[in-house]
Every structure is written in C-alpha cells, then in structure tokens.
Structure 1
C-alpha cells in the first residue's frame, strides 16, 4: 500500500500534451481561511489558469468536464486551491496538459488515486 505524501504547502506536477506544457500546483487550503497565492486571495475550490479564473480561460462546457474529471474521480473537487501555468500549443493541447498535470498532482497527494485515474486514461 503506497504511503501518504508528507505535509507540504502544495503538490506540484507537470503535464505535457503536444507542444503544451502545464505546471500544476494543488495548494492545501485551511478550512474557513482564504489563502493568498501570488498576492491574490483565493478560496478553497478555486482554479486559476495563467492568472485568470479557469472559466474565463477555458470557456466551453466540454473543457469543464475534462478538467473536473480527475477531481471528481478522486473526490477532491473543492478540496484544493489549484494554480496552473500553461505555455505553448493551442487551447485543446493546453487543456489536455492541464488535466494530466492535475492527475499527476493528485497521484502525489495519495498513491491510491492511481487505481481511480488509470482506468479512465488520465495517467
């Protein structure tokens, strides 16, 4: 049985797809307290991509289903503050890179998440 990760301020992972690269950080949020990430106040469950809310960066509903997929499968939706920096490629490549980065970061949070993510092709 994999060990749980040590307590950190955030878990970081890289996702790549075509020429797009996404650096994903899952910040641990304290219950009831807003956190500051890059001098911006954020609440639990917020997702920021290139300093914009994810709904502004990826506007379509298909995108929302994709980036929330790994979070729903691992029961982590609303558990973290997620910051993503993406570079290169088009919007779809960036979205796929972000999804892979989120999946890899969730794997670092708990190794048992692999059993939930791998069958859905998210790793």
Structure 2
C-alpha cells in the first residue's frame, strides 16, 4: 500500500470519511484522539472491532472525519468505513469482516411524522366526550 486508502461509512444521519495509511495504530476522529472523541468504552470498541478481526490494530493509522447524527451513529458509521477501507487495502480481509457483520450497512433511520398524529406513531389523546 503506497498511498492512503479511503472509504465512506453511513449510519442514521451520520456520515464518516475514513482515511487509512500505514503506521503505528493511531486513530483520530475530527483531529482528536478517538478515546477523547468517543468517551464511552463500547463506542471505542466499535472502532477497534474491524482491526481486531484482521489482527491489524497496530499496522494502520486511521483519520476519520465524522459529520451529522449522534455520537453512537458516528461510531457505527466509522466502523463500516474502516471495514470498507481495509478491504481496499487487501481483499483477503473480506471473508473475516463479512462473517463478523462489519460490511453490512444498517439502513434504519427515523420514521417520518404522519399528519393527524403527535409523532410518527403516537396519536393525540382520545376523548369520548
């Protein structure tokens, strides 16, 4: 891998651009260390999961630009982006990442509000009289 590889990950309203280069395992999200940006442990594990699957946690430096959505959506979008970028580096990683479920785009989003309702499904209180 001579130059950097990049990929896009999406989840809910969050979009992340992932840039992968050879390095020592440094992960930055919006120019901050990922442990500072994603303060919760399970969100940090989301980012590390594809790297642990291919046993390459210290082989790549990862730079992530995250936009939109919430912190959890951004973490899951970054996980998908990292997995896609790893496949660009080496297609041999695909079966392991696919089996772990890291290449599936979770398309669930927010349901739209319907007219005559308070929210998407919640109706106004019914009054018989």
TM norm structure 2: 0.77
2:4 paired residue among 5, 10, 21: 10
Q: Distance in 2 between matches of 1:88 and 1:64?
A: 18
Q: Distance in 1 between matches of 2:2 and 2:65?
A: 20
> Which structure 2 residues correspond to residues 65-80 of structure 1 after superposition, within 5 A?
65-80=45-60
Q: Which residue of 1 is the match for residue 67 of structure 2?
A: 87
Q: Distance in 1 between matches of 2:99 and 2:55?
A: 16
Provide the secondary structure at the position in 1 that maps to 2:19: strand
Which structure is larger by alpha-carbon Rg, 1 or 2?
Answer: 2
Q: Distance in 1 between matches of 2:71 and 2:44?
A: 13
Higher normalized contact order (CA 8 Å, seq sep 6+, divided by chain length): 1
Q: Does 1:25 pair with 2:19?
A: yes
- Count of residues in Structure 1 that have an aligned counterpart in Structure 2: 103
More strand by proportion, 1 or 2? 1
Moved over 3 A (4+): none
**Structure 2 spans left out of the alignment, 5+ residues:** 104-129
Q: Which residue of 2 is the match for residue 33 of structure 1?
A: none
Give the Å deviation of 1:8.
2.8
RMSD: 0.9
TM norm structure 1: 0.81
Provide the secondary structure at the position in 1 that maps to 2:91: coil
Provide the secondary structure at the position in 2 that maps to 1:106: helix
**Structure 1 spans left out of the alignment, 5+ residues:** 1-6, 30-43
Q: Does 1:120 pair with 2:100?
A: yes
